[in-house]
Structure 1
Amino acid sequence: MCFYSQFVCSSRPMRFGIGLPCTMENKENARPYVLREDTDSDQSDGPILYRDDDTASDRAAKIARKESLSLKLALRPDRQDLINRNILHAQSDNERLESKEAIGAKLIRRLSMRPTAEELVERNILKTQTPAEEKKQKEEKKRYLLRKLSFRPTVEELKEKKIIRFNDYIEVTQAHDYDRRADKPWTRLTPKDKAAIRKELNEFKSSEMAVHEGSRHLTRY
């Protein structure tokens, strides 16, 4: 009696097992072992899905995929654009191979004509110094040139030392504008003026004009 009361008043779920021994003779006719729980599972089942709803959602997804695919196909570039972008090759395999070989031969020929590193350094194309070293070298050259210019002689000193000749240094002075088209002043020179001019020219030639040794006997001074 106590066992029955405990069995009935218990709030735990009840499990019943009905089964037949699984032997070789009745293996196909044996009932499966079923576990049942007497619980209220209606609230935990969730929303009920119908077949019509699944079909409608599948149809909408297919339509969306078709629309996206048609949009992508509409935006797809044509064949000429793909050829221009070098994506689609318009040449055959043999033509591409010949083109690659020609380009390779041209590159090898150009590389053989490429100057060496020493030549690039001599041409001041390849730098061997860092920017800081180049800046320091420029400053040193600037100081050296300024020091040399501070000791540079004047034009008068160079003239006295006959370093600058009359045609090396041109001095421009203001002159009056005379109309000498009808005037012939050399016709009015006296013999004394002619002798003075000849003497000045001979002195100039003897002091500032270099004469070759083979032509010295032709001079008149």
Structure 2
Amino acid sequence: MNTPTSVNTVFLRAGVDEAGRGPLAGPVVVAAVILDPIRPIAGLDDSKKLSEKRREALYPQIIERALTHCVVIVEAGEIDRLNIFQATMAGMSRAVAGLAPAAQEALVDGNKLPKDLPCSGRAIVGGDALEPAISAASILAKVTRDRLMVALDVTHPGYGFAVHKGYPTPAHLAALQRLGPCVQHRRSFAPVRQWLDQGVLF
């Protein structure tokens, strides 16, 4: 976390984004970032538009140059308890609340705002490609989650988490049908729930 003297004169606007709403397994990861206007980072964009190599190169620059950042991991069990939308909203509120210095405004990618943000907020559709702070948050969330899924591939072998990162690819669905769900699978998501209910995917 970096807090140069510019923090005293800058309006503290955080970008907020998530990674991992769609997968059948693993956490959803939310990041909030306040960039330092006197330490710009070239090449920020929606993480989905960047190669893995480029995301990995930008990640340490964001960590080092941002005024502050916070990354929150919302595990599969909480996703199942709350549903994926509410779990994501909760993660966004926690990420913004975890910033120090505190944000004065949060720019959230998408069309919905968490109800309990600790500051004012604006939802921006496509914001991860429009607002550098949201782009930075998108990259932190994506890189963090991808690294977590690679680690989970070691502890839960056979599903291919390191390759598909938990998304419902044909290979993942085939592995789920063959092995059944592990603790990282989201029980509330239809393919997993159907396997648990019937013992089959389809």
TM-score by length of 2: 0.16
Task: State the structure with more CA Rg.
Answer: 1
Question: Highest relative contact order (Cα 8 Å, sep 6+), 1 or 2?
Answer: 2
- TM-score between the two structures when normalised by the length of structure 1: 0.15
